[in-house]
Structure 1
Amino acid sequence: MPAKLPVAETPEILPRPDFHFTGQVGRTFKDSDPATFPQPVQPSKGAPNIVLILLDDVGFGQFSTFGGGVPSPTMDRLAKEGLRYNYFHTTALCSPTRAAIITGRNHHSASFAGITEAATGFDGYTCILPRNCGTVAEVLRQNGYMTAWIGKNHNTPTWETSAAGPFDRWANGLGFDYFYGFNSGDMNHWHPLLFENHNLVPASDDPDYHLTEDLADKAIRWVRQVKSIAPDKPYFLYVAPGATHAPHQAPQSWIDQFKGKFDMGWDAYREQTLERQKKLGVVPKDTLLTERSKGLPAWDGLNADQKRLYARMMEVFAAYGAQVDAAMGRVIDAVKELPDADNTIIIYVAGDNGSSAEGGLEGSLNENLFFNGFPEKWEDNLKAIDDLGGPKHFNHFPSAWAHAMNTPFQWTKQVASHFGGTRNPMIISWPDKIEDKGGLRDQFLHVIDIVPTLYEVCGITQPREINGVQQKPIEGVSFAATFTDGKVQSKRKTQYFELGVNRGLYHEGWMASAPSFIPWNPNRDENWDPDQQVWELYKLDEDFSQARDLASLHPDKLRELQDLWWVEAAKYNVLPLDWRGTIRMNAELMGRPSMVGKRTKATYYEGMVALPGAACLPMLNKSWTITAEIDVPDDKAEGMIVTQGGSEGGYGLYLREGKPVFVYNYLGMERPTFTADAPLPKGKSKLVVDFKYDGGGMGKGGAVTLKAGGKTIAQGRLERTVPIQFAIFEGLDIGMDTGSAVDFTYPMPFKFNGKIERVEVEVKPGK
């Protein structure tokens, strides 16, 4: 029989009281009792090590362990020694799922109804993690664990991600002793902006650098280091790589392995995947393949060039996924070499939501176009087919491939009403405790159930107070019993779903689903009426894939679940419903907090790098002026003076061969460039870029004038400008270019070889 789980014996109030010497104290140490020291907190006897892996934007039918076409030997290995869960659910979007997985509360309860870049001022929508939702890392840390977070952090408010902090909602402030990763939803895998704890990490000079491998290396380094120092102390390692979220970027050697393997197209892929899923037993034998979601094209209706382009995009995506699973395998190998390896629980969650349809119907070379509300044309993307996956593009495959990755379900990421958006594979390995090697579990679970499960297996009492703050009750329920009993009934009877008014409710085997907006169109009608939403009804024990809508046959049951949805929504801060799209990405229009405040001028100095966009003056949809005071060493001076953004959008002012250059990157589609005819003379110079906005709405054009010493040296027009955001994750740099290049005509980091006295940016609201 397997050993029993640790008995909960930890305090309900954290931290523990300060140490107080209770012996006799005399006039001197000679007539006092022997001194004693406060001892380190000891974890519960038998408490396991924990490795939590959370991949990004993964569909149920993506990886081979669950029948998909992307090989996943690491998942296979863990599944053979552990358990597969095929009824595990997420929230349909990254930040919400990530808030839920570290707090054990529903995403609205934890104030994460959406991504941090789209926060609003309602309780469930601020994206400010409440202090009454203490994290699992904070609780484990105060109960004797070593803790680390490696990879993606998308749970810090955007306006708090600059060097000015505050840092209490960075990973280190959320209970993690060590952090190495990035503070955004997307990240360029060739030229990332990374932080180690609170410090910006210098760009790598390795020509073969790739973020996925770097994150695996850092996870291995940390866990080896701490176990070498404290072999008897348990650890919690949370690894959240950026794959397979856009941009889909992978080494060419990985991409080449998939050449021709997806020429069958997305419709045939779905059919083949379902057959594999049935053979593996991860879906019931009678599972039906749902219809292609409304609006997605049939593969057979495409022309030859479209098929060639889209197949290549899928090859890149498959390479990206295969690489991350292999990298996680290196982490697992390192873990299994450590002391107490068999008492390590490994939770491998394949996706924080379903596969992403944000590449649009025709695929994308720059996902920032989606967030600015613009579709792309396949004819333009075809020209870049040989560069896909490399550093030049922020590419993303078409929506129909995302739908195929979610086989056998309907819909995709963002659609919380259906399992294409919310059902993700989960694998759990724990050699010391799990005897049913290779077993399958079909209890209905939600991501909020992981925290209470960890508390139970670690022998931890759920704290009612942390750091002086009364805690909101954990809303998840433990599924630890499933480790030893495959037939145990699920404790979860009800679970609401909501994201962008895509709504759903699970209750005692039934699922009511109400889709609203299609995920590949970011533009929403503000006059849309949620009361006109059409609800569907499914009986899950007879219909694993949500293929048979029973709404017309059971109207009373549907009405019951609709009413219950509103009860749950009121209970968990889901209200008010908010379906606005790209407009929520504009911090200025939404009135989100900002380090800028109401200032219209800001002065920056050399050495300021990676200042997040949320901490920069808002330069969109208005006039502005950049003034740079520099000292030029000679008439061949080179380097970046000021830039904001990167390859997916932004601007840059730099010198090349002594000549001032201003470039405006319009979302990677065009880069109007204004270059002086002659180099600047040696010595001090004042460069001015003045932009006069045409006005008349968002994204309009305007006149650009470049001056040196008060004289015009270049001028022209921008016919259109970025309306919502310059870039997804890149900010402002002075004296060099971090992250990716705003254009591809200079070598990174293009450090200025002169001296920059100051750079002033002034915005002129109103036009």
Structure 2
Amino acid sequence: MSGSSTSSPGAPQGVLPYAEQKYRGAVGTSYLDSDPAEFPAPLRAPEGAPNVLLVLLDDAGFGQFSVAGGGVPSPNMEALAKDSVMFTRFHTTAVCSPTRAALLTGRNHHVAGTGNITEVATGYDGYTGIIPKDTATIGEILRQNGYITAWFGKNHNTPIYETSMTGPFNHWPNGLGFDFFYGFMAGDTNQIRPYLFENQTPVGTPTDPDYYLSVDLADRTIEWLRGVESVQPDKPWFAYLAPGATHAPHQAPKELIDQFKGQFSGGWDVYREQTLQRQKRMGLVPEDADLSARPASMPAWDSLDADQRRLYERMMEVFAAFGLHIDQQVGRVLDHVATLPDADNTLIFYIVGDNGASAEGGFDGTLNENAFFNAYLMKTEEMLDRIDEIGTEYHFNHFPAGWAHAMDTPFPWTKQAASHLGGTRNPMLVKWPARFLAGGETRTQFTHVIDVAATILEAAGIEEPRSVNGTAQTPIQGHSFLDALTDADAPEHRTSQYFEIFANRGMYKDGWWAGCLAFEPWQAVRGSFDPLTARWELYNLEEDFSQAHDLAAEHPAKLEELKALWWAQAAANKALPLDWRGAERFSSEMTGKPNLASGRTRFVYPGPLAGLPEASAPDLKNKSFTLSASVQIDDGASGMIFSQGGNTGGWAFYLLNGTMVFAHNYLDVERYIVRSDDVIGAGAHELTAEFTYKGGHDYGQNGAVVLFVDGREAGTGTIEQTTPMKYSLSENQDIGTNTGTAVTGEYTSPFDFEGDLTQVIVELGV
């Protein structure tokens, strides 16, 4: 009798995982009278399947980088473009998590459970913030077809209440089909002081003063590629590189920032005009395209005073340096890939933004993007005296909305505006030398982020599975655009696509676009809205590339047709019910999002514990609470007892040279500090901070503080205003140390506690 079959499990089939192979030979009493032993055949990808490098930048507009005519230099993107095709009508969803879920699954973002970012998730199927089992990721499909898979950088596709050290981990990158993960678990992070993970293990926060996240991610990607190429050079790999750039905070090395001094003095209106002219010269925009209008509510650059111009210029100089920096780092990865033996058979997708540039800094910009999520917009006078700190680790800075609009040239609006191209159109570069040798060309087929997964599967020769890990799959909704790589006149496979974010709605069909902007992106609090009576606009994109001319009045029947189609698509894709609320959706109390701490009023921590995400920690917002710590210290002790948040907002309870300190950072606008009256001497002590909230059911109000040492009152003070909704998207709760940025300027992280910290108790009031 013959031995077991050795047929490759990589042959196309519709069910994953492949059936486990069993030995089918004859087994005797010993190996001497048995058929030869044979191990199960290793999983192999289809013959000729390419490596895949997928790069996705964050919060980058169509007219931002020089590769698409923008004013931010991108020499490495330009070099790639010479060997690639650029898709100039490629579309995202208008916000990051939805785009990423759509990219990874090949389904529309609501179908993939990600109608918005996970922090504002609700309990409806299209808005849970959970990628469901019936929409398996491209990473999972490739992994189960013989690929090695890795994810570097931003993961904003895990529910916020599942990002602690207790998991569960099935929605982390390793559970979504990636063999290896290195990066951060949040929508954004301080580029100099991030809190990082390797797979499911916290790495913590780097302490190197010269550290930058983009450099680290490039280093780790190259290191991983070297490893897989040396250990399994015949096995194809899939690397997903998702840097945090150019999402706020905008941070870059000083020497790069200094290069841009004075380069943006003309302002955002001049920038838009110059960018459009460059885009036309490059052939990216038709010669007859008009520049779309600046929003009526947005100030003209010429209307600004001298202080505003000085501040806004500096913010743009920092942003440009940030953009150049990420171009340099991704360029290092591209250069390494080019040296690999199988570089020709490496398929590269470089998506220049997961949505348009962000206007969430408001009209004046901000030192703290998180202020927007708490419905607070900073004013110029609050920032001018700290202008030289912009771009450093000390602030979560974000430029003004006027610059965001300019970065999206020639289109109207910005990130969040799913109703318009400024929020949804991003350049994409695609390179595959084995199949496409020419370069420097453009493609104008209407494509969408859901089409990338289908394109990868066709390139790899892998069948779309009907079932993955025991779950029947919702069919991939994307269409492969692989034929467009070799044929500029390939048909447009995507003739219809709906869009929705925060009730901002768009509908594309056969060259026409209908859009309804519910709220301007810088409106943090949005009030009442009627989606049935809201005004829609209409554009003929075949004749009006830049969406400059609203034709709603001229073609009412066409508009009604597209509006009806949008409602039908919304119902079919789980985009209903519409929810236009802004900052208030960050509140678990308002949305009912799970929280590991919900239902508890007392938390006991037996000693140091670092890196607990805010969403899994006791909710200290808008209520009274008490912190108590059992310590053993020497004279003059310093160090963190308890912190929640960082320089974007939050609380800190610490010792500083023997003095007990309790502090609140209100959105990097004010820091309220209460100190003990006397220095605390050596010995064992019970240290307590009691905060009594005075706001009742109002959000973000004031409160009184009383400090105690061994039960005796040791100091009092007032916190004039508290952070109402969210301390941060990426800072943590720490006990015995401070893993992220500092809540106050009195200490620097990590600020380890000097002495023994045997217990910390948090008790919540009302």
- What's the TM-score once normalised by structure 1's chain length? 0.98
- 2:207 equivalent in structure 1: 205
Any conservation in 1 of the 2:674–2:718 contact (CA below 8 Å)? no
Q: Distance in 2 between matches of 1:706 and 1:334?
A: 57
Post-superposition CA distance 1:521-565 (Å, at most 9, x none):
11111x311112111111111010111111111111111111111
- 1:734 equivalent in structure 2: 735
- 1:721 equivalent in structure 2: 722
Q: Distance in 2 between matches of 1:224 and 1:435?
A: 25
2:116 to 114, 122, 141: 114
Q: Distance in 1 between matches of 2:452 and 2:205?
A: 35
Q: Distance in 1 between matches of 2:186 and 2:245?
A: 13
Greater shift in the superposed pair: 250-259 or 204-213: 204-213
> What is the total number of aligned residue pairs between the two structures?
756
Q: Distance in 2 between matches of 1:534 and 1:147?
A: 45
Q: Distance in 2 between matches of 1:268 and 1:597?
A: 51
Any conservation in 1 of the 2:524–2:582 contact (CA below 8 Å)? yes
- 1:689 equivalent in structure 2: 689
Q: Distance in 2 between matches of 1:267 and 1:9?
A: 56
Identical pairs, percent: 53
Please tell me the residue identity of whatever aligns with 1:552: A
User: Any residues of structure 2 matched to 1:309-328 within 5 Å, and which?
Assistant: 309-328=311-330
1:762 to partner: Cα distance: 0.9
Gaps of 5+ in 1: 1-7
Post-superposition CA distance 1:463-517 (Å, at most 9, x none):
0100001010001111011011110111111100001111010001111111110
1:280 to 279, 282, 285: 282
Give the match's secondary structure for 2:670.
coil
1:589 to partner: Cα distance: 2.3
Q: Distance in 1 between matches of 2:571 and 2:332?
A: 44
Q: Distance in 2 between matches of 1:557 and 1:203?
A: 54
Any conservation in 2 of the 1:588–1:618 contact (CA below 8 Å)? no
Greater shift in the superposed pair: 73-82 or 318-327: 73-82
1:294 to partner: Cα distance: 2.6
- 1:665 equivalent in structure 2: 665
Q: Distance in 2 between matches of 1:257 and 1:216?
A: 23
User: Any residues of structure 2 matched to 1:359-398 within 5 Å, and which?
Assistant: 359-398=361-400
Any conservation in 2 of the 1:644–1:731 contact (CA below 8 Å)? yes
Q: Does 1:653 align with 2:631?
A: no
Please tell me the residue identity of whatever aligns with 1:227: E
- 1:499 equivalent in structure 2: 501
Give the match's secondary structure for 2:611.
coil
Please tell me the residue identity of whatever aligns with 1:255: I
Any conservation in 2 of the 1:594–1:614 contact (CA below 8 Å)? yes
Any conservation in 1 of the 2:110–2:126 contact (CA below 8 Å)? yes
Greater shift in the superposed pair: 595-604 or 561-570: 595-604
1:161 to partner: Cα distance: 0.2
Greater shift in the superposed pair: 393-402 or 689-698: 689-698
- 1:482 equivalent in structure 2: 484
Q: Distance in 2 between matches of 1:324 and 1:733?
A: 30
1:679 to partner: Cα distance: 2.3
Please tell me the residue identity of whatever aligns with 2:408: N
- 1:606 equivalent in structure 2: 607
User: Any residues of structure 2 matched to 1:41-440 within 5 Å, and which?
Assistant: 41-440=43-442
Q: Distance in 2 between matches of 1:383 and 1:532?
A: 45
Post-superposition CA distance 1:116-168 (Å, at most 9, x none):
10000111000011000000000101111111000000000000000010011
Any conservation in 1 of the 2:672–2:720 contact (CA below 8 Å)? no
1:9 to partner: Cα distance: 4.3
Q: Distance in 1 between matches of 2:64 and 2:695?
A: 46
Please tell me the residue identity of whatever aligns with 2:652: G
Post-superposition CA distance 1:688-733 (Å, at most 9, x none):
1111111331111111001111111110111211111122211110
Q: Does 1:541 align with 2:542?
A: yes
Give the match's secondary structure for 1:227.
helix
Q: Distance in 2 between matches of 1:158 and 1:588?
A: 15
Any conservation in 2 of the 1:639–1:656 contact (CA below 8 Å)? yes
Give the match's secondary structure for 2:312.
helix
Post-superposition CA distance 1:205-257 (Å, at most 9, x none):
32211111111111111111111111111100000000000000111011011
Any conservation in 2 of the 1:9–1:461 contact (CA below 8 Å)? no
Q: Distance in 1 between matches of 2:422 and 2:616?
A: 35
Q: Distance in 1 between matches of 2:32 and 2:20?
A: 25
RMSD between aligned residues: 1.0
Any conservation in 2 of the 1:9–1:459 contact (CA below 8 Å)? no
Q: Distance in 2 between matches of 1:286 and 1:726?
A: 47
Greater shift in the superposed pair: 741-750 or 568-577: 741-750
Q: Distance in 2 between matches of 1:40 and 1:744?
A: 56
1:204 to partner: Cα distance: 2.4
Any conservation in 1 of the 2:626–2:691 contact (CA below 8 Å)? yes
Q: Distance in 1 between matches of 2:598 and 2:692?
A: 23
User: Any residues of structure 2 matched to 1:469-618 within 5 Å, and which?
Assistant: 469-525=471-527, 527-618=528-619
- What's the TM-score once normalised by structure 2's chain length? 0.98
User: Any residues of structure 2 matched to 1:19-30 within 5 Å, and which?
Assistant: 19-30=21-32
Please tell me the residue identity of whatever aligns with 1:644: Q
Any conservation in 1 of the 2:86–2:443 contact (CA below 8 Å)? yes
Any conservation in 2 of the 1:627–1:759 contact (CA below 8 Å)? yes
1:520 to partner: Cα distance: 0.8
Q: Does 1:678 align with 2:678?
A: yes
Please tell me the residue identity of whatever aligns with 2:679: P
Q: Distance in 1 between matches of 2:637 and 2:608?
A: 18
Please tell me the residue identity of whatever aligns with 2:753: F
Any conservation in 2 of the 1:224–1:334 contact (CA below 8 Å)? no
Structure 1 pair 260–270 and aligned structure 2 pair: CA distance change class (3 A) = same
- 2:752 equivalent in structure 1: 751
Post-superposition CA distance 1:244-302 (Å, at most 9, x none):
00000111011011111100100000000000000001111111100102311000001
1:435 to partner: Cα distance: 2.8
Post-superposition CA distance 1:431-466 (Å, at most 9, x none):
111133111100000000000000000000000100
Please tell me the residue identity of whatever aligns with 1:59: G
Any conservation in 2 of the 1:11–1:461 contact (CA below 8 Å)? yes
1:605 to partner: Cα distance: 2.9
Q: Distance in 2 between matches of 1:39 and 1:335?
A: 29
1:658 to partner: Cα distance: 1.4
Q: Distance in 2 between matches of 1:580 and 1:240?
A: 28
- 2:4 equivalent in structure 1: none
- 2:447 equivalent in structure 1: 445
Q: Distance in 2 between matches of 1:202 and 1:99?
A: 26
Q: Distance in 1 between matches of 2:729 and 2:452?
A: 30
Any conservation in 1 of the 2:204–2:611 contact (CA below 8 Å)? no
Post-superposition CA distance 1:333-355 (Å, at most 9, x none):
11111120111011000000000
Q: Distance in 2 between matches of 1:659 and 1:394?
A: 29
- 2:5 equivalent in structure 1: none
Gaps of 5+ in 2: 1-9
Question: Would you identify which runs of 4 or more consecutive aligned residues in structure 1 move more than 6 Å?
Answer: none
Structure 1 pair 337–605 and aligned structure 2 pair: CA distance change class (3 A) = farther
